[in-house]
């Protein structure tokens, strides 16, 4: 009896110590993420190889922030917010903990994306994100105008008059600014300089109105315009261009000469994560090229995993390689966090462009 009590006591002590260290052997990883970022086959393989049970909550930026803010960073072990939605939220609500990059296998990752994410998620000398899934805005062109339309402002060329479409949204402002030789991101903290850039872009977009068939508002609308040939050149997302290319090789996504505009969804560790070790295991597991390719096949978006395109399904891989070589990837202009007040200024510019005759 005494021996049995001693064993029970020892087991209880071991479990308590293990729980306190955050490495409970009956492990669970609670992941809050976007649809397509944790495919069933990837989850099953991770669980089989590690013995860690994965609980998935599908979400978006606003919902992630809301849930983690309500709990002070508890309830999840790993989150996947966009890189430009971390610093402001962290400064205000303190819901994440700094990334320990010594625990991340960065050899698997695109260096330019690691650098961009470290910089855009930096606060008080520490970074709060690891790059995961990314995408861009650029140009979708028909081969008949591919030699003419190589940058955003080429959408204003008389050769494509009446056959152009883009959105009246901030990516269009950013793209035109870069194509006009300005850097709007570098001016984020200089309100006067930023206003000057926006004024020049506004004039350009007003001059360009005659070229625009329609300002698209939904992805299906744009794809239809391109399929029918009503539009031969547009500013849009890479995934839409690759989808069209699979249907019609004459249509393709092009990274503009001044650089595609890029977003990155990250890995971020909530401040009160209960299984940080499992979080880093998941990051390193899913960024292996062959595993990352499964995420691309499921979501339609590529990842920061270096060399993963070799394992992506052929039609998507070929369309991607047609759009992006190493130079084009290194030239992507990654969205930084937007300072307060700028979006209101941009909204006024877009309203004036819309109203102009």
Residue 19 has pLDDT above 50, yes or no: no
Residue 72 has pLDDT above 80, yes or no: yes
Of the segments 22-26, 82-86, 130-134, 317-321, which one has the largest average pLDDT value? 130-134
Residue 3 has pLDDT above 50, yes or no: no
User: What pLDDT score was predicted for residue 25?
Assistant: 46
Mean pLDDT of 26-50: 95
pTM of the predicted model over 0.95: no
Residue 24 has pLDDT above 90, yes or no: no
Residue 294: φ, ψ to 5°? -65, -35
Residue 125 has pLDDT above 80, yes or no: yes
Q: What angle do CA 223, 226, 231 make, to 5 degrees?
A: 130
76 versus 338: which is more confidently predicted?
76
Topology agreement, domain 2-134+263-325 and domain 135-261+336-355: yes
User: What pLDDT score was predicted for residue 16?
Assistant: 40
- Name the CATH topology of 135-261+336-355: D-Maltodextrin-Binding Protein; domain 2 (3.40.190)
For residue 189, what is the DSSP state?
T
User: What pLDDT score was predicted for residue 26?
Assistant: 56
| Domain range list for the chain | 2-134+263-325, 135-261+336-355
287-342: pLDDT as tens digits: 999 999 999 999 989 999 999 999 999 989 999 999 999 899 999 999 988 888 88
14 versus 302: which is more confidently predicted?
302
Residue 5 has pLDDT above 80, yes or no: no
Contacts of 226 (CB under 8 A, 6+ apart): 140, 142, 232, 234, 244, 251
The token duo for 83 is 């890189």
Element (H, E) at 315: helix 314-323
Residue 21 has pLDDT above 60, yes or no: no
Beta carbons of 206 and 120 less than 8 angstroms apart: no
pLDDT-derived band of residue 20, with 50, 70 and 90 as boundaries? very low
Chosen CATH of 2-134+263-325 out of 3.40.190.10, 1.10.600.10, 3.30.1330.20, 3.30.1540.10:
3.40.190.10
259 versus 2: which is more confidently predicted?
259
């Amino acid at each position: 009896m005494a021996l049995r009590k001693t064993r029970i006591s020892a087991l209880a002590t071991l479990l308590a110590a293990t729980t306190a260290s955050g490495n409970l052997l009956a492990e669970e990883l609670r992941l809050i993420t976007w649809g397509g970022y944790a495919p069933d086959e990837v989850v099953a393989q991770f669980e089989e190889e590690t013995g860690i049970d994965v609980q998935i909550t599908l979400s978006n930026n606003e919902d992630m922030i809301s849930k983690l803010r309500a709990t002070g960073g508890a309830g999840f072990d790993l989150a996947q917010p966009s890189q430009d939605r971390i610093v402001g939220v962290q400064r205000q609500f303190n819901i994440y903990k700094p990334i320990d990059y010594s625990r991340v296998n960065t050899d698997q990752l695109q260096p330019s994306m690691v650098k961009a994410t470290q910089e855009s998620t930096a606060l008080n000398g520490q970074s709060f994100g690891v790059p995961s899934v990314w995408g861009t805005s650029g140009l979708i062109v028909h081969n008949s105008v591919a030699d003419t339309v190589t940058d955003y402002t080429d959408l204003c060329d008389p050769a494509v008059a009446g056959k152009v479409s883009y959105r009246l949204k901030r990516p269009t402002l950013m793209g035109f600014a870069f194509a006009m030789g300005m850097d709007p991101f570098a001016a984020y903290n200089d309100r006067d300089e930023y206003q000057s850039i926006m004024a020049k872009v506004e004039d350009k977009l007003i001059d360009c109105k005659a070229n625009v068939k329609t300002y698209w508002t939904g992805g299906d609308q744009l794809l239809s315009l391109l399929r029918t040939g009503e539009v031969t050149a547009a500013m849009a997302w890479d995934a839409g261009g690759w989808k069209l290319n699979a249907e019609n090789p004459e249509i393709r996504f092009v990274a503009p000469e001044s650089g595609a505009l890029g977003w990155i969804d990250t890995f971020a560790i909530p401040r009160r994560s209960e299984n940080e070790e499992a979080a880093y295991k998941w990051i390193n597991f899913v960024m292996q090229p062959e595993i990352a390719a499964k995420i691309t096949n499921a979501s339609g978006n590529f990842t920061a995993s270096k060399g993963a395109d070799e394992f992506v399904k052929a039609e998507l891989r070929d369309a991607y390689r047609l759009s992006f070589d190493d130079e084009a990837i290194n030239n992507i202009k990654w969205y930084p966090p937007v300072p307060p007040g700028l979006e209101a200024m941009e909204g006024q510019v877009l309203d004036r462009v819309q109203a102009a005759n």
